[in-house]
A and B are shown apart, each in its own frame.
Chain A
Amino acid sequence: MANELDWHRNKSGFAALLGPPLGWFLLFFAVPMAVVWAYSFGTNSGIADIEISGTFANYARALEPLYLGILGKSLAFAALATLICLIVAFPVALAISFAPPQLKTWLLIGVMLPFWTNLLIRTYALIAILRDEGLLNMALTSAFGWAGVGPLAIMNSNMAVMIGLVYVHLPFMVLPLYAALDRLDRSLIEAALDLGAGHVRAIFTIVVPLAVPGILSGLLLTFIPVLGSYLAPDLLGGPDSQMIANVIERQFKRANDWPFGAALAFLLMYLTLFGIAAQAMMQRKRPVD
């Protein structure tokens, strides 16, 4: 951009503007993160003392079958939840982006509103639905009770966690998909129909390929928060549906093994950064427009 100012031309102004946010970021984000990172190479040397010994033991322990299993399960959960979100969100995003303007605004607000409501409240609300004596089971029993369908034990199971993860993260997927589909030139779809494709074929041969950047960013935007989910497995899941965030929490709040917790937290952080880097690379390879 032509009108940008070289910072040398107004050093004090530059410092006054960038200084406070950068300082806050460094002191209250970068430093704490760096400390966690340092702790991940530390050992417990006393009740409250931690020695940064440069050991990789914590990471090695994280790769033991027990924790590797939880990590693998977290990844599998996150992948499945993300996939379900994609399948549910795509038609919704498609419908929104092709809706008339008035309806479009309302549908968008409708999707975004849960996104802004308290995560804890939403998870709590889900409990009332999924409980053994909850609404879902009441509906099931009253509708299919004659056929011998009794209450299902959904709460405290992997199933409940999966429902919770999808419920909470659906908007994360709808919004980037919508952004991608809304940019699509409608005459491309008309051209496909004109050339003999039906609606379904037009969507799969033209709309989906062109929405790939949006799909990728939706996958990433959903996958990262799902992977680090704490509340859904904690409140909805059973003992065998713990995800990595729950294990991290336990190391800090109960087991008091901070170095190991730090290593697990940074494993999660590495995965996140890897995902972002991968997406950035893919975006560079695919010049937009």
Chain B
Amino acid sequence: MSENATILYVDDEELNLTLFQLNFKKRFNVLLAESGLEGLEMLKRNNNIVVVISDMKMPGMNGIEFIKLARKEFPKIRFFLLTGYEINEEIADALNDRLIHKYFRKPFNKSEIEEAILEFL
């Protein structure tokens, strides 16, 4: 691998953002956004993002709403959810519609996430 792949992590909790970056910075170039809106801006500004991982419950737009918008503009990116929720109808629909590729549970499992991303790459 010549250079680390760039991924975007969206979560409204700053602690989550910081810790995620700390844990994954070795393997990936991790970009962060605090809201869906900011996530969209980041995507527009950085065309090298290949994977997006988003929290579900966020003020403003939730993870799935954000991914819906983002996916329209960036169909090539692979999207994942990382949430404290058990699977529910909304998440199940998103999985069925192939809006998200997979969903991870909080507390996160580092190797699970890494594998999912590397599999895509």
Partners in one complex: no
Which residues of A does B touch, CB under 8 Å? none
Which residues of B does A touch, CB under 8 Å? none
